[in-house]
Amino acid sequence: MLWVKAFHIVFVASWFAGLFYLPRIFVNLAMVAPDSVAERERLLLMAHKLLRFTTILAVPALALGLWLWLGYGIGLQGPGNGWMHAKLTIVLLVVGYHHACGVLLRKLANGQSQRSHVWFRWFNEAPVVLLLMAVVLVVVKPF
């Protein structure tokens, strides 16, 4: 079980690293001058590769978490396991954020996004808040 936990933590941390950097590329894309085609294409390529990589990392992170939850019963038994429900809610929010990154990337690639670089900067901060909440729930288990 400790190996499963260790790999789960590594994949989750790597997944979050990608989710921290991907919106930063969106900020740069929103700031590219309209006549700078090569820069825009390079940033789009970087964003597509990073999204693919974070998706690949998300699959084992979620699978190992599911294995720990259902296979070992972590957070299923006894009173005081409300932290697990809160953690699962955060996991769903992170999956939704990941999906939103994919939607935004498609819009940026098609030239349909009218968002400013300031909006993308705020969007970039969302996973930080989710990560802090997840760490508190996993380490402190306040419920």
Are 72 and 1 contacting, i.e. CB atoms less than 8 angstroms apart?
Answer: yes
Query: Is 49 flagged in the annotation as binding?
Result: no
How far apart CA 36 and CA 6 sit, in angstroms, is: 44
Query: Is 5 flagged in the annotation as binding?
Result: no
DSSP assignment of 70-129: IIS-TTTSSSS-HHHHHHHHHHHHHHHHHHHHHHHHHHHHHT-----HHHHHHHHHHHHH
Annotated binding site: 8, 87
Annotated binding site for heme: 8, 87
